[in-house]
Amino acid sequence: MHADLIIVGAGMVGSALALALQDSGLDILLLDQGPLEVAPWNPAAPFEPRVSALSVASQRILERLGAWNGIRARRAAPYGEMLVWDGSGTGQIHFSAASVHAEVLGHIVENRVVQDALLERLAGSGIGLLPAIRLDGLRRSGDGWLVGLGDGRQLRAPLLVAADGANSTIRRLAGCATREWDYLHHAIVTSVRCAEPHRRTAWQRFTDDGPLAFLPLERDGDRHWCSIVWSTTPQQAGRLTALDDAAFARALGAAFEWRLGEVLEVDPRHCIPLRQRHARRYVEPGLALIGDAAHVIHPLAGQGVNLGFLDAATLAEVLLHARSRGERLADLRVLSRFERRRMPHNLAMMAAMEGFERLFQADPLPLRWLRNSGLKWMDSLPEGKALFVRQALGLSGDLPGLARA
């Protein structure tokens, strides 16, 4: 089977790339190990444990791909405020969408909701979908790639895009080098119901063991639910995961300083090891890495999927422009334009998250004083906070057309 482009990984980022290229005239195959089926929507269903903090830039991309209405028809929780404070001191900083005349800072959305909305759009797109596949091999074949599947089929294409996540099979089979390190932290993720409503605010406390985030969720107008991302040491994560729900709720409420009152309900908990990874190159002849296949960052600010959507939109823009000029899309000179636009932005975001994580894990008293003083000082600077808010909205830097106003 032959195609012009094979995208491996039909998660949020791979699906977005396929939709961005649906009118290009390219013969596209989208592969995934999952079933690629849209689950029947039940508005009373429990929240999925994995959520994303979609920026305004990501919202624009999803709107232009026709998926945003499907997300809103299910559920999405807008937030217009963010409060961050140091649990070891008195410093805190407050951000508001109103400071830059925006309606929201973003939306907290379950990953499954985003995925199903994208799959709905793919169903009528004319893009070839190959679900439930297992990759059995990858090798160069002339000017392109030969992809072997577990059922014996072989796929050929001059251009291959890896959108298959942090543990990318394509990245491994293609021999792409990465820089990576373990944070020596695990993240506990779940959903909880609190005694007080979240007030459409994203809350984050930096504890001695790691950051704890309460991200707003909504179900049938109920604003007492929050998605929890609690980053802590592996030993502490193991202890917390082993607690019964009542004991975990008490520990969580205390760690959060009871900002939203008692934790009344706790959904099943999941524990995820945290590791940072960055590909040394995003491209080589006939191959591009996007999303988590190219870069994985700390979930500190929920920016991972936003970087992935910008990757997808930028790569689509580069490919469409090259096609309009009659260039060969698999040429390294074409694909390098994507890398030049995205790698500096992604590295800057990774460096910022790494710096925050290290600063708030620092124990020496001078550094504690410095970060508390810094938070207080920054909170008193409207211009500085407005700059941070624009970064959080995803509206700064070299934006692809799909993300622009």
pLDDT of residue 151: 93
Tens of pLDDT along 230-279? 999 999 999 999 999 999 999 999 999 999 999 999 999 999 999 889 99
pLDDT of residue 380: 61
Tens of pLDDT along 173-220? 999 999 988 888 899 999 999 999 999 999 999 888 888 999 999 998
pLDDT of residue 359: 53
pLDDT of residue 298: 77
Q: Are 114 and 67 in contact (CB under 8 A)?
A: yes
pLDDT of residue 100: 83
Low-confidence ranges of the chain (pLDDT < 70): 87-90, 300-302, 352-385
Rounded distance between C-alpha atoms, residue 250 and residue 227, angstroms: 16
pTM over 0.75: yes
pLDDT of residue 144: 95
pLDDT of residue 204: 92
pLDDT of residue 367: 55
pLDDT of residue 275: 87
